A and B are shown apart, each in its own frame.
Chain A
Amino acid sequence: MSEILTVSNKAAKIYIYTILATSMLLISVVIGVNYVSIKNGGTGITALDLYKYQMAKLDNAEDVEIVFLGDSSLGHAIDAKHFSDLAQKKTLNLALTGSYGLLGSYNMLRHSVSKQPVKTAVIMQSLDIFSEPISYVGYHQTLADLDSPKEISINLSTYFDIYFNIGIFAGIFKAWRSSDPSGMIAEVISDDYVIQGAQMDESSIQQNIVKHMWQLESIVKERYIALKLINKYCNENNINCIFTTSPYLEQACNKDLNYIDEVINLAVSTGITTLNNQICFPSAHIGDSFNHVNKFFKVEYTELYYGMLEQKYQ
């Protein structure tokens, strides 16, 4: 067996300095690319491009009175154009994704009010986000030039999560490969929101429903700080804000009635006007996940929510 080799002091010093220097360089590159990318609304990452798309919609629209804010469950459930026709008021659906959460919706509300004569804001979020940790990353990515209220504290670890995202390189690569980076969002948008995947079939539903279970204890109460902030903002700016949960698969709803009640009760306790009804759809109406309505029923659910909201914002 060969002898154990040794490392000279000189070689060891060079080795350690190289690790330190390379690590600092790589960290700087990753942080720098993320910083520039976020400042420019993202590159090649669907969620960030969707944010750019919604902001462009807000910039280009006129006389918008009603805005819908929330996540993908909203994006697939509400047809803004049809809602505009029903309500006889210009409506925009500014849904982002679940990763932006309620704080993202809070920022989108403030952007909307600053750019349009908004009178009513409907915040519609999926039930599952209430049991997930708050994403300050999504909040930060939608902050732009807005002030950050003192109730929201972003610590070093959050900044690290925001600016140390290696996934940004995959997004840049995707954009570089795309034949038309400026129009990339057009490849994923249809019917005013991100294209849905294939519809879940019955066997997939059954496979997933067995695993599906929400615990009351898993509700993240911190999330309701965002609803309080939204309510406070709406009161200060004379906006009629309404919170509602988005449609969810009926079979899952039936397993989690206590959870749903608790989510709604906590929302009510923040002071924001809340719709008490949870819409649960049958499996025939499902899209590509438990909280996405199939695109063929978008108009029907728009009318359903119009009926529920009509009394609240008149």
Chain B
Amino acid sequence: MLFNSPFFIFVFLPITVFGFYFLRRKEFLSLSIAWLVGTSLFFYGWWNPIYLILILSSILFNYFLGKRLNLNKNSKNNFFLLTLGIVTNVGLLIYFKYTHFFIGISNDLFRTSYSIEAIILPLAISFFTFQQIAYLVDAYKGKAQEYNFIHYCLFVTFFPQLIAGPIVHHSEMLPQFAKNTKELYILRNLVIGISIFSLGLFKKVILADGLAVYANPIFDGAETGITLSLFEAWFGSLAYLFQLYFDFSGYSDMAVGLAAIFGIVLPLNFNSPLKSHNIITFWSRWHITLSRFIQDYIYTPIAISSTRFSMKYSLPGISEFIVVVAFPTAIAFFLAGLWHGAGWNFVIFGILHGSYLIINQAWIATRRWLGYNISNYSAIGLFFGRSLTLFAVLISFIFFRAETFEGAKNILFAMTSLDGMYLPEIYSIHVTQIIDLTGFFNFIGIEFYGSDSLLSRRMVLSILICFLIIYQMPNTMQIIGHYWDGYKKYSVSPLIGFWEKIKWQPNTKWAIFISFLLILYLSSLSRISEFLYFQF
């Protein structure tokens, strides 16, 4: 059941909302939470009821282990229990997600041909596993309270965030479920939730799905060995990057909107990441909850140990940087890449981003050492930074999307191939419309030939429009965030100047606009649509 499916929007959601507020109005607060748990499990089981056993077992195991850790805070067995918990959770993830990958590696290394039957990856396993590992670690450290079991169930299964995030933290979710408020603000929640949801739906169904039509043939062609032109490779890669951004950020907006309907605040997951001027900023704005998890539960513990090691042995300059910064970053992003999928392309993705971050950190350290003010950027510097960041991210997402290393390599070669600098003949019309620039284009090496190309004019126009949307327009939370309960907690840059005029308001104009968005959504129902991050 996808968020953009008719059954979800016209059947599941209205029934769930009605049931929740009906119980709340009757002051059956626990029942209303149980109702959400029940509907969330129904939502999860819609995909495959058998895997309800898995998620329920995971919940029971982690809840009672966490309870044990909370009850006996100073017990000597706690470390063992924590290890057991992490190993079990990670082991489950490894079994379902990485078995075939490791078998493949083993076969390559030892020249065997061992194989097993396909293992179906349970939906959302990467997300609910990470959420519960965080809970266990915090319970061990004494940072997690003891929670009501039903509330804990909802923390894991809450349907807006269950399938593809945001990766929520127990400390931001569970207190909300326990809040006993008499005021329900039903209408307010509906208005704000539906509006955020609709904006996310638009990004997913119109923008992301519209770009998929252009990106897929390019990447499919690269897998089958088609020789791509320079422009096809660049535009195809940009199409995918923008598709992924609108798909995932649109989905995250929908999740936030759905949660807001129930008066629940989910954390922000995207904050205009493609406007970032360096890769460190990029990761503070892209899949924010994943970055948070990696930082809190992987990077920081390793960095603390590395720092102690460095201090103990008084490591000099560069060695200190390598041990304290580079090493934890490399490990953290290697694992982050692997989390996305069981394949070498995801490993390369992680390694690339780890490398980018290390280089960025080294650059900042060098500038600081040279006495530069690292927080001031000139306009040219910002432009250069954004361009370089976009380029670096673009390259990494080619590996992210490609099915094989060969496919990624074909696209990268095409992106650098000066032999492929041709555009379809139809574009030659445009370079002669005002004055004849054919000669100029030929001079710089661009030729016009061929009638058929994956680079249609509509594709080029779509990419250019996406550039405008991404770099000039505000994001969803900037438009509507000032009415959203999470606005202050998750810092959102306010709109200034011209864009203040398009701030969302609960007025007729916005209601009509939202209606148009919903109609556009209805018109897309016959199209096949997928959420890219479902595979994780």
Q: Which residues in B have some Cβ–Cβ distance to A below 8 Å?
A: 187-188, 190-192, 194, 217, 220-221, 224-227, 450-454, 482-485, 487-488, 491, 494, 506-508, 510-512, 514-516, 518-520, 522-523, 525-526
Offer 29 A-B interface pairs, CB within 8 angstroms, sorted by A: A4-B482, A4-B485, A5-B482, A5-B483, A9-B188, A11-B506, A12-B188, A12-B506, A14-B508, A15-B506, A16-B191, A18-B511, A18-B515, A22-B511, A22-B516, A23-B515, A26-B515, A26-B519, A160-B526, A164-B523, A164-B525, A166-B520, A166-B523, A198-B451, A207-B226, A210-B221, A210-B225, A211-B217, A211-B221
CB-CB under 8 A for A199 and B192, given A7-B506, A15-B510, A166-B523: no
**A201 to B452, Cβ gap below 8 A?**
yes
**B511 to A19, Cβ gap below 8 A?**
yes
User: Which listed residue, B190, B221, B526, touches A16 by the CB 8 Å rule?
Assistant: B190
**Distance of A250 Cα from B104 Cα, bound (Å):** 38
**Distance of A296 Cα from B225 Cα, bound (Å):** 33
From A15, A164, A199, name the one whose CB has the most chain B CB atoms within 10 angstroms.
Answer: A15
* Known contacts A15-B508, A210-B221, then 4 further A-B pairs from the complex at CB < 8 Å, ordered by chain A residue: A11-B191, A15-B506, A207-B454, A211-B224
Q: Which residues of A contact B519 (CB under 8 A)?
A: 23, 26-27, 30, 166
Q: Which residues of A contact B484 (CB under 8 A)?
A: 4
Min CB gap A14→B, angstroms? 7
**Distance of A160 Cα from B191 Cα, bound (Å):** 27
A6 contacts B by Cβ under 8 Å:
yes
Min CB gap B424→A, angstroms? 9
**A2 to B494, Cβ gap below 8 A?**
yes
CB-CB under 8 A for A19 and B452, given A6-B188, A211-B226: no
**Distance of A22 Cα from B453 Cα, bound (Å):** 41
CB-CB under 8 A for A19 and B515, given A1-B494, A211-B226: yes
**Distance of A6 Cα from B482 Cα, bound (Å):** 9
Min CB gap B398→A, angstroms? 19
**A2 to B482, Cβ gap below 8 A?**
yes
Within A133-161, which residues are at the interface with B (CB < 8 Å)? 160-161
**Distance of A227 Cα from B445 Cα, bound (Å):** 54
A200 contacts B by Cβ under 8 Å:
yes
Classify the interface of chain B: helix, strand, loop or mixed: helix
From B191, B217, B452, B453, name the one whose CB has the most chain A CB atoms within 10 angstroms.
Answer: B452
**B221 to A7, Cβ gap below 8 A?**
no
**Distance of A7 Cα from B483 Cα, bound (Å):** 8
A312 contacts B by Cβ under 8 Å:
no
**Distance of A26 Cα from B333 Cα, bound (Å):** 48
The 8 closest A-B pairs by CB, nearest first: A204-B452, A12-B187, A18-B511, A22-B515, A166-B523, A7-B188, A198-B451, A11-B506
**Distance of A49 Cα from B484 Cα, bound (Å):** 50
CB-CB under 8 A for A208 and B452, given A12-B191, A18-B515: yes
**Distance of A150 Cα from B311 Cα, bound (Å):** 83
Q: Which residues of B contact A161 (CB under 8 A)?
A: 526
Q: Which residues of A contact B512 (CB under 8 A)?
A: 18, 22
**B507 to A11, Cβ gap below 8 A?**
yes
From A9, A12, A19, A30, name the one whose CB has the most chain B CB atoms within 10 angstroms.
Answer: A19
Q: Which residues of B contact A2 (CB under 8 A)?
A: 482, 494
Q: Which residues of A contact B482 (CB under 8 A)?
A: 2, 4-5
**A26 to B506, Cβ gap below 8 A?**
no
Q: Which residues of B contact A18 (CB under 8 A)?
A: 508, 511-512, 515
**B187 to A16, Cβ gap below 8 A?**
yes
CB-CB under 8 A for A4 and B487, given A9-B187, A18-B508, A201-B451: yes
Q: Which residues of B contact A211 (CB under 8 A)?
A: 217, 220-221, 224, 226
**B451 to A7, Cβ gap below 8 A?**
no
Within A274-294, which residues are at the interface with B (CB < 8 Å)? none
**Distance of A18 Cα from B453 Cα, bound (Å):** 45
**B511 to A204, Cβ gap below 8 A?**
no
**Distance of A198 Cα from B515 Cα, bound (Å):** 41
From B187, B450, B453, B510, name the one whose CB has the most chain A CB atoms within 10 angstroms.
Answer: B187
Q: Which residues of A contact B191 (CB under 8 A)?
A: 7, 11-12, 15-16
User: Which listed residue, A1, A160, A204, touches B450 by the CB 8 Å rule?
Assistant: A204
From B488, B491, B515, B522, name the one whose CB has the most chain A CB atoms within 10 angstroms.
Answer: B515
A215 contacts B by Cβ under 8 Å:
no
Q: Which residues of B contact A23 (CB under 8 A)?
A: 515, 518-519
CB-CB under 8 A for A4 and B483, given A164-B523, A210-B221: yes
A116-128 interface bits toward B, Cβ cutoff 8 Å, 1 = contact, 0 = none? 0000000000000
Min CB gap A305→B, angstroms? 27
**Distance of A19 Cα from B452 Cα, bound (Å):** 44
Q: Which residues of B contact A9 (CB under 8 A)?
A: 187-188
Within A167-206, which residues are at the interface with B (CB < 8 Å)? 197-201, 203-204
**Distance of A22 Cα from B220 Cα, bound (Å):** 41
**Distance of A67 Cα from B52 Cα, bound (Å):** 58
**Distance of A64 Cα from B45 Cα, bound (Å):** 59
**Distance of A284 Cα from B14 Cα, bound (Å):** 59
**B187 to A19, Cβ gap below 8 A?**
no
Q: In this complex, what residue of A is CB-closest to B227?
A: A207
From A30, A161, A199, A207, name the one whose CB has the most chain B CB atoms within 10 angstroms.
Answer: A207
Q: Which residues of B contact A19 (CB under 8 A)?
A: 194, 511, 514-515, 518
**Distance of A4 Cα from B187 Cα, bound (Å):** 16
Q: Which residues of A contact B522 (CB under 8 A)?
A: 27, 164
Q: Which residues of B contact A203 (CB under 8 A)?
A: 450, 452
Q: In this complex, what residue of A is CB-closest to B518?
A: A23
Q: In this complex, what residue of A is CB-closest to B451?
A: A198
Min CB gap B493→A, angstroms? 10
Min CB gap B10→A, angstroms? 12
Within A1-54, which residues are at the interface with B (CB < 8 Å)? 1-2, 4-7, 9, 11-16, 18-19, 22-23, 26-27, 30
A97-127 interface bits toward B, Cβ cutoff 8 Å, 1 = contact, 0 = none? 0000000000000000000000000000000
Q: In this complex, what residue of A is CB-closest to B488?
A: A1
**Distance of A35 Cα from B516 Cα, bound (Å):** 20
Q: In this complex, what residue of A is CB-closest to B515?
A: A22
**Distance of A201 Cα from B487 Cα, bound (Å):** 56
Q: In this complex, what residue of B is CB-closest to A6?
A: B188
